[in-house]
Amino acid sequence: MLAVIGGSGLTQLANLDITRREVVRTPYGEPSGPLTFGRLAGRELVFIARHGYGHTIPPHRVNYRANISALRSAGVTHIVSVASVGGIRADLGPGALVVPDQIIDYTWGRHSTFFDAHDGQVRHIDFTEPYDAALRERLIEAAALAGETVVDGAVYAATQGPRLETAAEINRYERDGADVVGMTGMPEAALAREAGLAYAALNVVVNHAAGRGDSAHGIRMADIEAMLQEAMVRVRHVLEKVCESGVCR
């Protein structure tokens, strides 16, 4: 079964026919909210709002472990993560949809693993390719079916937040090879891999990163908000096509 983790601007899926909501408890504490089960394009899907249904949980306080654990225990096999980002690369301006293929993790102090060796076992995952290749392909195909252009491949820089970056930090991330910047991509992707779940991300560029383009002298939250609303309509269409393509049950 497919799960969608909705980020800022996507606290619900308007086109989801909701069948039930389930409060799930996990050994890692509370997920961001109840899991919402429903049908999209006639197929079953689970939705969770990463920041809570009222958008009350900032990126550094999201219980990523509980979210992934809850989805897994609900029978989820595939996760599409929707998250807004700032565009660093010149061609990734507001409104661009991106399916990233790499991650650099700059976050700190988050509970970032299930493999804490509480059972005496030391485990490692391979994370060379952090996103599931087949699910990425499905997302890209679904976007084409929805008539949306998506950028195939980008390096996602995961920052701690909740503040936005300085211009110098963005310059540094670019030198490191990053193309987009967001606050929630990690440890979510790594936890999904540890849990054995196929995971891919659909990033929505909602602003030029700090110091770039029309963010040269600052970023206006109102502009981000306006772009989020507009872009999420397109994201919902892409998700419908992902369901039609058969990832959902």
Which stretches of the chain bind ligand HPA, using CB under 6 A? 84-86, 159, 164-165, 181-183, 206-207, 209
State whether the Cα torsion 191-193-199-202 is positive or negative. Answer: positive
Q: Look at the chain and count its residues.
A: 249
CB of 162 to ligand HPA, least distance (A): 9
Write the single-letter amino acid at 216. Answer: A
Give whichever of 208 and 241 is closer to ligand HPA, judged by the CB atom.
208
**Phi, psi (rounded to 5 degrees) for 131:** -110, 150
Give whichever of 150 and 228 is closer to ligand HPA, judged by the CB atom.
228
Distance CA 69, CA 72 (A): 5
Give whichever of 99 and 206 is closer to ligand HPA, judged by the CB atom.
206
CB of 116 to ligand HPA, least distance (A): 28
Per-residue b or e along 16-55, where b marks 16 or more CB atoms closer than 10 Å to that residue's CB: beeeeeeebebebeebbbbbbbbbbbebbbbbbbbbbbee
Beta-carbon neighbour count of residue 82 at 10 Å?
26
Give whichever of 17 and 225 is closer to ligand HPA, judged by the CB atom.
225
CB of 15 to ligand HPA, least distance (A): 23
CB of 203 to ligand HPA, least distance (A): 9
Q: Which residues pair with 228 in a beta bridge?
A: none
CB of 156 to ligand HPA, least distance (A): 10
Kindly provide the residue ranges of all beta strands, DSSP E only, lying in 50-148, ordered along the sequence. 78-87, 97-99, 102-105
Give whichever of 8 and 32 is closer to ligand HPA, judged by the CB atom.
8
